[in-house]
Amino acid sequence: MSAQWFGQLEYRVPYADTDQMGVVYYANYLVYFERSRNELMRAMGLTYKELEQRQLGLPVVSAHIDYKTPARYDDLLTIRAELAWIRGVRLQVDCSVRRAEQVLATGYTIHAVIDLHSLRPARLPDELMAMWSQAVVTAQEQPTIVHNV
């Protein structure tokens, strides 16, 4: 098990991510959040693919982004995700996008745990709930750059 309970990656902005104003198109930040959530899942010991093999899904049911300053073509971004909380069949992932030490955007996504066959809410198996609850506690103990809960 990883001792790092966050997902993080570096990403260089391609032209395709920018709009006519030369900045990263606002909706692409949700794609960046998704990429960091994939890394978070790996850090928590289970990939999305492995979760789906258990017939469980985590669709986004709510998303929020605070844009601080724009990212531009060729910027090297650090994108980070942390598990903020788990309550019943819902969980929140806090995300941030940085260029070096400068915070460009912060936000969060709220997910429902669902059964992939019925598309209805489902409980996490006990071992996942225990493991992911530990990730929440560990993330809260670490200094974080995300302030949206």
Residue showing tokens 């530990």: 134
Residues known to be catalytic: 19
> C-alpha 95: how far from its chain's center?
5
Judge whether 49 and 41 are in contact, CB under 8 Å.
Answer: no
Please give the pLDDT value at position 130: 86
How far apart are alpha carbons 142 and 145 in whole angstroms? Answer: 10
User: Three-state DSSP class for 47?
Assistant: coil
User: Residue 4's pLDDT band (boundaries 50, 70, 90)?
Assistant: low
User: Residue 148's pLDDT band (boundaries 50, 70, 90)?
Assistant: very low
Q: Give 27's contacts (C-beta < 8 A, 6+ positions apart).
A: none
* DSSP assignment string, 20-68: TTSBB-TTHHHHHHHHHHHHHHHHTT--HHHHHHTTEE--EEEEEEEE-
Residues composing the chain: 149
What CATH code would you report for 7-141?
3.10.129.10
Residue showing tokens 């670490």: 142
Please give the pLDDT value at position 132: 85
Torsion sign across C-alpha atoms 124, 128, 46, 11: positive
Least Cα distance to 28 among 92, 101, 99, 105 occurs for: 105
Judge whether 94 and 54 are in contact, CB under 8 Å.
Answer: no
Give tens-digit pLDDT for 17-72.
999 999 999 999 999 999 999 999 998 888 999 999 999 999 999 999 999 999 99
How far apart are alpha carbons 71 and 103 in whole angstroms? Answer: 10
